[in-house]
A and B are shown apart, each in its own frame.
Chain A
Amino acid sequence: MKKQFRLGLFIFLTPVLLWLILLIVIPHIELLLMSLHGKDDMGNTVWTFANYRHFFTEEIYWYTFVRTAFYAITVTILTFLVTFPVAFYITKVVSPRFTGFLTILLLMPFWVSELVRVYGWMILLRESGVINHLLTSSGLLAAPVEMLYNDASMLMGLVYTSMLFMVVPLISSLEGLDDSLIEAAHDLGASPFTIFFRIIIPYAAPGITSGSIVVFMLALGNYLTPTLMGGKNSLWFTEQIYNEFIASFNWNQGAAFGFLLLLLSSLIIWGALKLSRQELGRALS
């Protein structure tokens, strides 16, 4: 009996283990080793921490990282603020018959690739784009304005591309919220404000946590949107990694940056979980 159980476990675990080891662990070990190598003055490959030292000594690197992390957190918060009312409306305000339909409507844009959606935004926002055309032809603007390639449009693009990953966990956690809990709180003397912060938010907390982790990671690791919508001076950390690998052909430095991104983002998530007193296991289950 016990032996059978072990065999079954092994069979079901094999694909996961293969995936983890072949595609995650082995490449990362390779990257780790690469990040710890460098060339000395003679051009020989040697073990060194220089790649990591660079990150802290060269101001531009850690500045880019802090900026990226700060904006990724901002994107997460903005995404939550935008999607929470939507999720609440879909699950609690409209009749339950429409919940499924509205959810599908919300997910539809995400059947199109991110690249196409970002180009869509660019068509709208660029200097010769739709919005500028409308504004100038209606006389509101004398000359077209460049709306792309600034931080605001980049943030907007990132919020837009991450919305799906916030709204789905929010909907599924709010769906479980029984209306009578809200009524009970109201009956016990709570104002709508208190109901929101003491009942609805704590109830949805696991959904908010898992949504926030995914959105934060996606925003932090996003390359496409900052590059296309933020332009040359978007200074996103993934662009630094790309530059090291592709432009400077310095794979050792790129690997070190990749590892730093992994470590620092894990640290931020750990800190945020501690701050909000949430547990990773509960949020993802």
Chain B
Amino acid sequence: MAPVLDIQNLRKQFADFIAVNTLNFQVEDGSFFSILGPSGCGKTTLLRMIAGFLEPSEGKLLIRGEDMTRVPPNRRPVNLVFQNLALFPMMNVHENIAFGLKRQGVAAGEITRRVGALLERVHLSGYDKKDISQLSGGQKQRVAIARSLVLEPSLLLLDEPLGALDLKLREQMKIELKKLQADVGTTFMYITHDQSEALVMSDRVAVMNRGQFEQIDTPRNLYSNPATRFVAGFVGETNILPVKVISKAPLKVQTAFGLELSGTHVGNFQGDLLDLFIRPESIILDPADTMEDINRFSLTVRNILFDGSNTKLLATVGTSDYELTVALPQNQQFAHIDKGDTVQAGVHVDSCRCYAGGER
């Protein structure tokens, strides 16, 4: 079966700026696919091309095997949930959701039935007659999604719809959206710059930078096995140390302050300047002497950033001034650590990932 969305050599160029640079990818039916990237990386341009608001400069765009490159947005089986939701303020909840169905010429009874069924699904039964201005942020969100979902699109596009919500509500909506997607089975394509949204909800995530995909992978792989320097730096928290290569096989590197470490390198590199990435949680405190393949060093605690289950230490390595962020394990084992203490630490060789040096 053809994938829901098939993008072939898609490219969009504005006057002297390439927003989307020759993309090729497919989205499988029924999956939750996210595009994650910093602002200005071209993700919104890509989304608007899929929705039909922008015409690509080159390339093809197939939906369920049919070429949609030149089809206007009102005739594409794709619906978009806008960043600012774009609910019609002069209509009530029912009229908003029924808008698309009316355009398709669905009978009045059928419209009422389908709108009612969908309102129930997004937990807004009985809100039909409410005005948009009477709804809370989260409710508006759900109406906007219902308005698109009621048309049973092949692909639902979501353009950072959670951006305007406060933190608590956003966490709640993340879970709700994922449940809703699993429930209705529609393919969701979610655009965001918030990595936690992408990681929590998606089956697959594409990390986008400067108009290109750096990596398309499952959230788990993206986090533990980033393919490029950009992905390693963008997804999740990390410590970055500029290093110099001392030996290539096995890879041994030296930091600017003289610490020697064994590492794993990712991708090809020329020259001997690399960036070493260490996740805060891969730094082991007080490692047992029996552990093998481990880089050992001592840390001096500068500060403790208490944040419940997410508490971290800021510590300098050895006698240097370089600060590392270290995640504290969940148990109370290290609760006694205080400012100024010196602790032994270790990092497994596999967790010291070296990438070709970025522009500094």
User: Which B positions have Cβ atoms within 8 angstroms of A?
Assistant: 51-53, 72-75, 78-80, 82-84, 86-90, 99-100, 103-104, 147-148, 151
Contacts and interface: CB of A to CB of B under 8 A. Distances in A.
Contacts of B100: 188-189
Contacts of B99: 185, 188, 190, 198
Nearest to B84: A180
B268 to A, nearest CB: 43
Contacts of A203: 89-90
A202 interface: yes
A194 interface: yes
A82 B87 CA distance: 29
A2 to B, nearest CB: 31
B79 A187 contact: yes
Contacts of B52: 187
Nearest to B159: A180
A154 B169 CA distance: 61
Contacts of A199: 88
B151 A178 contact: no
B15 to A, nearest CB: 15
A146 interface: no
Nearest to A183: B53
B86 A190 contact: no
A190 B103 contact: yes
A165 B69 CA distance: 44
Interface string A179-212: 0110111111111001000110011010000000
Contacts of A194: 103
Q: Which residue of B83, B89, B90 has the most chain A CB atoms within 10 A of its CB atom?
A: B90
Given A189-B104, A194-B103, A184 B80 contact: yes
A191 B74 contact: yes
Contacts of A178: 84, 86
A198 B75 CA distance: 18
Contacts of A187: 51-53, 73-74, 78-80, 148
Contacts of A198: 99
Contacts, number: 59
Residue from the set B74, B80, B84, B89 with the largest chain A CB neighbour count within 10 Å:
B74
Interface of A: 178, 180-181, 183-191, 194, 198-199, 202-203, 205
A205 B88 CA distance: 14
A191 B104 CA distance: 11
A194 B103 CA distance: 8
A188 B85 CA distance: 13
B314 to A, nearest CB: 43
B77 to A, nearest CB: 10
Given A190-B99, A190-B103, A184 B74 contact: no
Contacts of A185: 88, 99
Contacts of B103: 188-191, 194
A180 B53 CA distance: 11
B90 A184 contact: no
B85 to A, nearest CB: 8
26 contacts: A180-B83, A181-B86, A181-B88, A183-B73, A183-B86, A184-B82, A184-B86, A185-B88, A185-B99, A186-B53, A187-B53, A187-B78, A187-B148, A188-B99, A188-B100, A188-B103, A188-B147, A189-B100, A189-B151, A190-B74, A190-B99, A191-B103, A194-B103, A198-B99, A199-B88, A202-B90
Q: Which of A184, A189, A205 has the most C-beta atoms of chain B within 10 angstroms of its own C-beta?
A: A184
A188 B90 contact: no
A99 B215 CA distance: 43
Contacts of A183: 53, 73, 80, 82, 86
A188 B84 contact: no
Contacts of A189: 74-75, 100, 103-104, 151
